[in-house]
Amino acid sequence: MSFGNETWDAYQRVNEIFADRISEEAADGDLIWVHDYHLLLLPRLLRERLHAQNKRCPIGFFLHTPFPADDFWRGLPVQKQLLDGVLGSDVIGFHTDEYKANFAGACSSHIGADIEGDKIHYNDRTITIDKYVVGIDCQRFASAIEDPGVQAKIQELEAQYKDKTIIIGVDRMDYTKGLPEKLEGFRFFLDQHPEWSEKVVLIQIAIPSREDVKKYQDLEEEVNKLVGQITGKYATPKSTPLLYIHRSVSFAELTALYSVSDVCLLTSRRDGMNLVASEYVACQEARHGVLVLSEFTGAAVFLKHGSLLFNPANAEGLSNALYEALTMEKKERKKLYEKLRSFVTTNTRLVVIFSIILPPQVPPVLPEVRQNS
């Protein structure tokens, strides 16, 4: 963990700017929904400003990343300030029960808050904490698959890779996503199973992220090196087992790639949820693809019974899971897929939005808004 007073000062200033602007714009009764670790101080700052303006606005906060265990959290010099800041909310949401429990433990241990089930009592206020399963808009993908342009792309990809088993990977170029681990594991798989080198292709999409940051530049350099080593060893004039795409892709292109892939490989070192898993499932009703998923994603908590889980730090374990996926019988693929689809289609984005913004314990928003919703 790295910490500097200059970056902490900047973090505080950004949260103050948001608080000033939002408190000016908010009307009495508006619901305010704050997102993610960038704005942990904002709920407290907002509550102070809104109170001074006699505005009563319920504040919700959702953390999209894992809340760490205490042995990591307590090493952060400003952890008490961050906890005090986010506890300015009325409701705080997390992806999993583990993240919620870690947060409650930190509040109890470090700022003396009283924990009572899903309630945190702190500074004469009661804050609700809960787990909310964030989903996707499955219908958007179902509609896209029927689009003539997407269908044409699907047919093009199927013809291009007619003799290949396709593995899809979609990740931001971020050190939490485990791209080096994925490539190391894939290389281990090819070393162990060279007969697959001309029968399989990993199509890895790496979406550029924070390219002006040295740590991310170093990551990109490491990934490029691994890509070169794998293609250099296993590619032939007629075939390559790895197609690396370092750019964003359109929604139509992404949907087509999901649809034609036989396996989805996600190797996050740590991830709040990872909705790529759900997106892949939404596009696989016809093919029943296999999801090979890092056990360190939030998605693994909910999709474990329909996925093949592994530790991304273990290249051999990744290789074994990948081999199992590639050689799985159709009957077993369908069985696993039905478990995945059942969860993904019943936990949609619409469901989670309404469960978060309209919980019964939060003071109601304007009555006419609720009547029209």
Catalytic residue among 84, 90, 174, 271: 271
Cα–Cα distances (Å) from 155 to 135, 145, 151, 241, in that order, read 28, 12, 6, 20
Query: Could you tell me the domains of the chain?
Result: 5-131 (3.40.50.2000), 138-346 (3.40.50.2000)
pLDDT the model gives residue 188: 99
Name the token pair of 314.
């273990």
Q: What is the pLDDT of residue 348?
A: 83
Catalytic residue, from 38, 64, 193, 246: name it.
64
Q: How are the residues of the chain apportioned to helix, strand and coil, as percentages rounded to the nearest 5? A: 50, 15, 30
Q: What is the pLDDT of residue 121?
A: 98
Cβ-defined contacts of 45-51 (< 8 Å, 24+): 45/15, 45/16, 45/18, 45/19, 45/85, 45/88, 46/19, 46/22, 46/88, 47/88, 48/88, 49/19, 49/20, 49/23, 50/23, 50/26
pTM listed for this prediction: 0.89
Q: Are residues 72 and 1 in contact, defined by beta-carbon separation less than 8 angstroms?
A: yes
Tell me if residue 271 is catalytic. Answer: yes
Among 70, 51, 61, smallest CA distance to 108 is for: 70
Question: pLDDT per position in the chain (373 positions), as tens?
Answer: 578 899 999 999 999 999 999 999 999 999 999 999 999 999 999 999 999 999 999 999 999 999 999 999 999 999 999 999 999 999 999 999 999 999 999 999 999 999 999 999 999 999 999 999 889 999 999 999 999 999 999 999 999 999 999 999 999 999 999 999 999 999 999 999 999 999 999 999 999 999 999 999 999 999 999 999 999 999 999 999 999 999 999 999 999 999 999 999 999 999 999 999 999 999 999 999 999 999 999 999 999 999 999 999 999 999 999 999 999 999 999 999 999 999 999 988 756 665 665 555 444 333 333 233 3
Q: d(Cα 26, Cα 365) in Å, to the nearest integer?
A: 12
Assigned token pair, 356: 């978060």
Structure tokens at 319: 């290789």
Task: Answer yes or no: 64 catalytic.
Answer: yes
